[in-house]
Amino acid sequence: MSVDLYGNYTAETLSLPQQWRKQIWLANGETGISSKTIHAVLTGMVDDMVFNASPSWLKYDVPHDPSDFRRCYLLLKLIPEWRERLDEVAERFPKWKPFVKHWGELTRLYEEERENADGHARKLYTRMQELRE
């Protein structure tokens, strides 16, 4: 699988069945709590029984900083059909609602700032903090 830092997957990779791409992400993708939240909801791995019985180390959350957002961004670049299903994440975890509503804006800020020489994405971070409040 060929990918660069920005999730520019080859057409060959993106043409693989979604099930295979989910496995590629689980095996090789950059994961974090927020990207795992998207994955868990959109694969149906989160249901009330599992959620209520989850051990304390199994958390579900929104992205907290640009690095968290990047991991979600990369997941959605590999499985772009999930972008249209982000509302399902917000339905399951309401604190996702402002993030889903402004996902396009967050993506634009990430893409604008991802090559900053100092490595910081201040506008994205600020906007994410506003959405968490």
The string of DSSP letters for 8-73 reads ---HHHHTS-HHHHHHHHHHHS---HHHHHHHHHHTT---HHHHHH--TT-------SHHHHHHHH
pLDDT along the chain (133 residues), means of 10: 70 95 91 93 73 58 95 96 97 96 98 90 97 91
Tokens (6 digits) for 35: 């990207």
pTM of the model: 0.88
